[in-house]
């Protein structure tokens, strides 16, 4: 793994915004990523999935459910815990691993703590927090993505079940998940007609669709979910009918902060790799680092990332203090992935051929960072969110 950035480290953001428990968590995660992710993730990229045993191993170490309340069996680390998790997984330079793990523990299963009742939490959470039951979030449809009010997958009540019909797509963990958190329409059009369900693998009427080969995030599994008269027990509905949009938006705010943290981790890794390359690469009687234009590039990118990371930590601390994270999440999601995409492009450029070779850390960061400006709410959708608050 790449070394830390001394300029960003000098800001002492951990000391300012994190508790002693958060800092200890970072140490554990950094060691785990160095020893158990980085050496094996190239093989996971080839298989286009994170092995099931990785989830179980992380569960045994208490690294899943960090943002869940302690009373639900989680770590009680809040939004800042999610930031540390996503940042350290991103720092590995394997964005697919970060996405697969964070979708399981932060972006889907957290709905059990927010909207689930005691019986649902007792039934599902032990397997989720131990990593023995992998989770996925099924929201996007072939004809509906950023505009969630256009979702059309139907859920019709039939006795003690709901019958679900339709197709979900672009689902991270689609082929390895045991539990799918599915948003479906139980009422009329618009946001008030949506409800949230847990659909267990093996439920009659549930099947997989296409599996996607992606430009980036290659170590995460992405596919479809086909629901054809899929009978889901009514006890698997989270919250009341018609509340699904509200629960989904609460989850998206947390997700967007986590994705911004992934971007920061990827950006720091790319900067460290590139700075080391420039210092070592002979050129023109010295090294590439002796060229002022290239040094200034790294300084400028470091300054932008340091500013972005400071805002990220401030927003996460405010969320943990009870502030409404919606606008903060949109600001972070609209800006930090764009900053890191610019950063990754420049790092590839100054690495030359080394930055364009498949499998190099900088090339991988450039691929994996690209989706962070798309998934979880595109930059354009986030800018519109901010504009509504102006």
Gyration radius from the chain CA atoms: 21
User: What per-residue confidence (pLDDT) applies to 2?
Assistant: 57
- What's the confidence (pLDDT) of residue 147? 79
According to the model, what pLDDT value does residue 191 have? Answer: 87
Sign of CA dihedral 192, 136, 33, 346: negative
**Does the structural domain 246-388 have CATH classification 3.40.225.10?**
no
Pairing of the two strands 161-172 and 222-233: antiparallel
Instruction: Indicate the helix (H) or strand (E) that contains 184.
Output: strand 179-185
Q: Is the pLDDT of residue 145 over 80?
A: no
Question: What's the average model confidence in pLDDT over 269-293?
Answer: 96
Q: Write out pLDDT tens, residues 43-79.
A: 999 999 999 999 999 999 999 999 999 999 999 999 9
Question: Bigger pLDDT: 190 or 345?
Answer: 345
What is this structure's pTM? 0.95
| pLDDT on residue 75 | 94
| Distance of alpha carbon 176 from the chain centroid | 17
Assigned superfamily of 6-130 = Acyl-CoA dehydrogenase/oxidase, N-terminal domain (1.10.540.10)
User: What b/e sequence results for 102-137 when a residue is b if at least 16 CB atoms lie within 10 Å of its CB, and e otherwise?
Assistant: bbbbbbbbbbbbbbbeeebbeebbebbbbbebbbbb
Domain spans of the chain, in order of start: 6-130, 135-241, 246-388
Whole-number pLDDT of residue 339 = 97
pLDDT for the residue numbered 149: 84
What's the number of CA atoms in the CB half-sphere (13 Å) around residue 34? 10
Q: Please provide the average confidence, as pLDDT, over all residues in the chain.
A: 95
Average pLDDT over residues 230-257: 95
Residue 3 has pLDDT above 80, yes or no: no
Average pLDDT over residues 152-169: 96
Share of the chain above pLDDT 90, in %: 92
> Is residue 19 over pLDDT 60?
yes
Contact 108, 136 (CB under 8 A): yes
**Active-site residue, from 255, 268, 273, 385:** 255
Alpha carbon of residue 246 to chain centroid: 20
**Is pLDDT at 305 greater than 60 in this prediction?**
yes
Which of 3.40.1390.20, 3.40.50.1580, 2.40.110.10, 3.90.45.10 would CATH assign to domain 135-241? 2.40.110.10
How crowded is residue 308: how many other Cβ atoms within 10 Å of its Cβ? Answer: 22
Q: State the average pLDDT over residues 301-318.
A: 97
pLDDT band at 1 (very low <50, low <70, confident <90, very high): low
Residue range 251-259: mean pLDDT, rounded: 95
Give the pLDDT band of residue 190 (cuts 50, 70, 90).
Answer: confident
Q: Phi, psi at residue 171, to the nearest 5°?
A: -95, 115
φ, ψ at 34 (rounded to 5°) = -65, -40
Other beta carbons within 10 angstroms of residue 216's beta carbon come to 18
Dump pLDDT digits (tens) for 369-388. 999 999 999 999 999 999 99
- Give me the pLDDT at residue 112, please: 96
DSSP strand pairing (237-238 vs 194-200): antiparallel
CA atoms of 141 and 363, how far apart (whole Å):
30
Nearest to 135 by CA among 171, 168, 96: 171
Q: Quick check: is 255 catalytic? A: yes
**346-359 per-position pLDDT tens digit:** 999 999 998 999 98
Per-residue pLDDT, averaged over 145-163, amounts to 91
Please state, in angstroms and rounded to a whole number, the distance separating the CA atoms of residues 272 and 188.
51
101 burial (CB, 10 Å; 0-12 / 13-18 / 19+) is buried
* Alpha carbon distance 47, 16 (integer Å): 40
Residue written as token pair 């949506």: 194
Q: Is the pLDDT of residue 268 over 90?
A: yes
């Amino acid at each position: 793994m790449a070394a830390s950035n001394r300029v960003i480290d000098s800001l002492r953001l951990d000391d300012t915004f994190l508790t002693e428990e958060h800092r200890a968590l970072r140490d554990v995660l950094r060691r785990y990523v160095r020893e158990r992710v980085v050496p094996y993730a190239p093989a996971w990229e080839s298989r286009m999935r994170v092995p099931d045993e990785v989830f179980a191993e992380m569960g045994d170490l208490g690294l899943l459910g960090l943002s869940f309340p302690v009373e639900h069996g989680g770590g009680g680390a809040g939004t800042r815990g999610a930031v540390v998790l996503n940042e350290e997984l991103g720092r590995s330079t394997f964005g697919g691993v970060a996405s697969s793990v964070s979708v399981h523990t932060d972006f889907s299963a957290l709905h059990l703590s927010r909207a689930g009742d005691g019986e649902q939490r007792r039934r599902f959470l032990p397997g989720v927090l131990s990593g023995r039951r992998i989770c996925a979030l099924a929201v996007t449809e072939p004809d509906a993505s950023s505009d969630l009010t256009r979702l059309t997958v139907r859920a019709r009540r039939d006795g003690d079940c709901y019958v679900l019909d339709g197709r979900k797509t672009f689902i991270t963990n689609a082929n390895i998940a045991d539990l799918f958190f599915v948003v479906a329409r139980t009422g009329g059009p618009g946001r008030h007609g949506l409800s949230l369900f847990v659909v267990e693998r093996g439920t009659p009427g549930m099947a997989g669709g296409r599996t996607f080969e992606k430009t980036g995030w290659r170590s995460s599994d992405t596919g479809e979910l086909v629901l054809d008269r899929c009978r889901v027990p009514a006890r698997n509905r989270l919250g009341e009918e018609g509340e699904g949009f509200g629960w989904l938006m609460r989850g998206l705010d947390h997700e967007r902060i986590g994705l911004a943290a992934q971007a920061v981790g990827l950006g720091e890794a790319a900067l460290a790799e590139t700075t080391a390359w420039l210092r070592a690469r002979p050129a023109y009687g010295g090294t590439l680092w002796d060229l002022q234009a290239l040094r200034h590039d790294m300084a400028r990118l470091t300054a932008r990332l340091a500013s972005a990371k400071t805002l990220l930590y401030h927003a996460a601390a405010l969320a943990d203090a009870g502030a409404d994270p919606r606008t903060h999440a949109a600001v972070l999601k609209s800006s930090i992935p764009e900053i890191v995409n610019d950063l990754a492009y420049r790092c590839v450029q100054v690495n030359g051929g080394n930055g364009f070779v498949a499998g190099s850390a900088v090339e991988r960061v450039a691929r994996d960072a690209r989706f962070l400006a798309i998934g979880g709410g595109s930059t354009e959708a986030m800018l519109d969110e901010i504009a509504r608050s102006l």
